[in-house]
Structure 1
Amino acid sequence: MKSAIPEPMIQTYSPNRYLCQKTSEKPELDGRLDKPFWEQAPWSEDFVDIEGEMKPLPHKQTRVKMLWDDEYFYFGAELIEDEIWATLTERDSVIFHDNDFEIFIDPDGDTHHYYEFEINALNTVWDLLLIKPYRDGGPSVNGWDISGMKTAVHIDGELNAPDQMQKNHKWTVEVAMPWKILKECARDGRPPKSGEFWRVNFSRVQWQVEVKNGQYVKKINPETAKPYPEDNWVWSPQGVINMHYPELWGYVFFTDTKNQPLPMIPEDEEKKWQLRKIYYWERNYYAEHDTFTTDISKELQQQLPVDWEIETTSRTFIASVKSTDGQKRIYIREDGKVWEESTK
C-alpha cells in the first residue's frame, strides 16, 4: 500500500529563477570564485531554510553562480563558514554526514530520472542517478558517475583546525559537469539550447558542532543521545524537509544573448503545479482508502483549470489539463511523472 506523503507548505508557486549565460572562456578549476571567469555570472539569491518562510533565515550565507558552454555546465558556490571541517575521503560516501554542498538537476522537468551531486570541504564527491523520487518508489543508482566531471574546493581559512578558527571565512566550490553525461536524462537526449530551461536546486547541509580534544565533533542532543538534526539551507525553498520534490526546484534558463532580461516561468509550468496538487490528493487518498478516486475535493477543484480531467482505476490514475496554447495536453500519473502529448 502506498504511504501518505507530506504536501509542501507553499502558498504560491514561485520557484527561484536564474539566467545562465554562455561563456567562451575555459577556466582552470581551483575552487576560487574571485577569478575573471566568474565575473560574468550573477550571484543567486542567498539560500533560505528548506521549508521556506516557515523558518528563520540561515545564520550563515550561501550563494551560487552558474555558466555554460558547449562542453560543460559550470557551478560556483560560496559557503560562509567559521567552522570548516570534513571527514569523508572515499568517493560515493554519504557526504551529507559531513557539512556539504549539493546540486540537484532534472533536465526535462518530469520529476523522474534526475541527478544528485554532493561535495564536502575535502573535495570528496557523491554522484548518483535517481530513477524516481523516493516517495514514488524510485531507486537511486549509486554506481552511476558523472564521468569527466571536474571539481575543486578552496578553503579560505584552515580545514579541521579549531585552534585556527579565527582565520576561517568560507569555503568555495567549483564544479564542471559535462553535457555528454547530463544529456542522458534530457529532452531528446541533448544539451540545452539557448532559450530553454532545466530544473535545478542546491542544498547546504549544516551540522551543529563543538570542539573536543582539539577536533570538531557533532553536538549530541542529551535527550536522544544522537547528534542534533542537521540544517538544510537551499536556493529554492521546498516547503517540506525533503529535497526530492523536483517539482519545486528552481528554473535555470540558458542564454547565449548578453543583457537578456530574466525570463518568467512559463504558464504551462503553473498548470503542471496544479496537476501536482491532484497527485498529492490522490496519493494521500490512496494511503487511506487503498484506491484512487475521481471524487476530488471541492476545495481542490476550485484551484484547477476548468478543463481538467481525470481517469482512475483502483491502482492507477491519469490527470490532465490543456496547455496554454491549446496544442497539447499535460498529464500526470500515479507515480508523479509529468509529460505532454500533442492534440493535433
Structure 2
Amino acid sequence: MACRGEHQQAIADIQGPQFWSQPWFATRFKLRYDEQFLYIAAYLEETAVWGNVSERNDVIFHDNDFEVFVDADGSTHNYKEFELNARNATWNLWLNRPYRDGGHENSSRVDPLHGFDMLSSGMRSAVFVPGHINDPGERLHYWTAEIALPLSQLALHSKAQVPPTPLTFWRINFSRVEWPVRLVTNSQTGKQHYEKEPGIREENWVWSAQYAVDMHRPEWWGYLQFRPRSELPSSSLDNRQPSEVAVPLDPEWSVRYVSFQFYYAQHAFHKATRSFTSHMEELLPFVTSREALGCMTVLDIHASTESFTARIASKYPDSNKDLQFIATIKDDGYIVVDKMSSTDMAATYE
C-alpha cells in the first residue's frame, strides 16, 4: 500500500481468505502522511453502531473497534498498536515484542505515570456517527474515524528514520473486532438496547491475513510504502486511479519468509524436545513449508536449551544465482536483514 490516500477495501477473516467465515460488512480506509504524522481515515459499514467503553486507554476491543498496528523497521519488536471504538475512546500501546515471545504492554493503562502514550506527541482522533450511538431505533449503517499518529512515536525504539525516507517500507496492519449482538427490550421502559450474544466469540477481520487468531504476528503484516508525490512512478501519470498503481515488492520478503519458517520450526522442535538445536537436519521434520526449504540457505546456527541465533540467506527475487540478502533471526523473533554481495558472501563463508 502506498501512503498517498487511495482507498483500501479488501479485508478478510484473520485466519485468511480461505477460512469459511468472511466479513459481511465493508471496511475502507485511506492513508496520507507528512513529516510529523501518519493520517488514517476509515469507513466502517455497520448495522449496530454501539460502544460501552468510554475511558481512554481502557481495553477497547471489548467493543466493536478499528485497530492499527505499525512495525516501523520490520524487526517484529517495538511495534505500536492503536484502537478506537465508535465513541472515540482510544487505547494506544507499545509492545517490546510479540506476546508469544514474552512481550508485554507498555502504556498508561498499565503504568499511568510513566507508561507509553502518544497523546503528548500530538496523537488525535475523531469519530462521526450519523445519528445517536447505542440507539437501535436509529437504524444506522456506518461510522467513520479519522486518526493522526505521530511518526516519531510509531518509530520509537526502532531503526526507522523520521521523516520516512521516500519509497521505504514500514509494516502495518488494520483490524476490526466485530461482536455479534442482539436487541434486548427493557420490560419496564420498553426501550431497546444492544447486548452481546452470550457464548459467541467475536469476529476478527484484517487487511493482511495472520493465519491465526492473533494480531501479534508482525511477520504477516502488510507493507506501507512512503511515496511522496514527487516520487510517484511514471505509471501514475496516465489515466489509472492511484489504487491501480502497484506498490513494488519488498526485495527482503523472500529471506524474511524463509527465516520465519526456520523460527517456527525451531519453536516446534523446542516444544517437542525442550531445547533448540544447532543442526538443520534435526529441524527438517518440523518445517511445515517445503517450498521454503528450497529457497533457504542456513549459513550458521548457534543454539542452546533456551535460545538460538541463526543467519539465513535467500535468493534475490530478480536473480536465480546471487545470494544477496542475509537475515539474522533470534529465538524471540527479532529479525534484521543485511545486504551482501555474492563476492563478499563467498569470501566470508568459504
Instruction: Name the TM tier (shorter chain).
Output: 0.7 to 0.9
The residue aligned with 2:19 is 54
The residue aligned with 1:230 is 202
| Higher RCO (CA < 8 A, seq sep 6+) | 1
Given that 2:94 and 2:107 are in contact with CA atoms closer than 8 Å, whether structure 1 keeps it comes out as yes
Change (3 A) 1:172 1:97: same
Q: 1:181-196 alignment to 2 at 5 Å?
A: 181-196=153-168
The residue aligned with 1:77 is 42
The residue aligned with 1:264 is 248
The one of 334, 337, 340 equivalent to 2:334 is 337
The one of 129, 136, 139 equivalent to 1:162 is 136
The residue aligned with 2:189 is none
Q: Give the AA of the match of 1:318.
A: T
Equivalent-residue separation in structure 2 for 1:298 and 1:43 (angstroms)? 43
Equivalent-residue separation in structure 2 for 1:170 and 1:319 (angstroms)? 48
Number of aligned residue pairs:
300
Change (3 A) 1:49 1:151: same
Unpaired segments of 5 or more residues in structure 2? Answer: 109-115, 187-191, 238-244, 317-321, 345-350
Offset of residue 302 of structure 1? 5.9
Given that 2:73 and 2:155 are in contact with CA atoms closer than 8 Å, whether structure 1 keeps it comes out as no
The one of 173, 178, 181 equivalent to 1:209 is 181
Q: Give the AA of the match of 1:61.
A: A
Given that 2:51 and 2:134 are in contact with CA atoms closer than 8 Å, whether structure 1 keeps it comes out as yes
Structure 1 position 297 matched with structure 2 position 284: yes
Equivalent-residue separation in structure 1 for 2:291 and 2:29 (angstroms)? 38
Residues 188-227 of structure 1 show CA distances to partners (whole Å, capped at 9, x for unaligned) of 5533121101100010001011111211111113xxxxxx
Structure 1 position 255 matched with structure 2 position 220: no
Structure 1 position 307 matched with structure 2 position 297: yes
Unpaired segments of 5 or more residues in structure 1? Answer: 1-17, 22-40, 222-227
- Provide TM-score, normalisation by structure 1: 0.82
Equivalent-residue separation in structure 2 for 1:19 and 1:47 (angstroms)? 17
Change (3 A) 1:231 1:298: closer
Change (3 A) 1:117 1:327: same
- Secondary structure, aligned partner of 1:84: coil
Greater CA drift, 247-256 or 297-306: 297-306
Alignment RMSD: 1.9
Q: 1:80-95 alignment to 2 at 5 Å?
A: 80-95=45-60
Structure 1 position 42 matched with structure 2 position 6: yes
- Secondary structure, aligned partner of 1:220: coil
- Secondary structure, aligned partner of 1:340: strand
Offset of residue 306 of structure 1? 5.0
Equivalent-residue separation in structure 2 for 1:302 and 1:155 (angstroms)? 47
Change (3 A) 1:112 1:156: same
- Secondary structure, aligned partner of 1:112: coil
Q: Give the AA of the match of 2:253.
A: E
Q: Give the AA of the match of 2:250.
A: P
Percent identity of equivalent pairs: 35
Q: Give the AA of the match of 1:19.
A: A
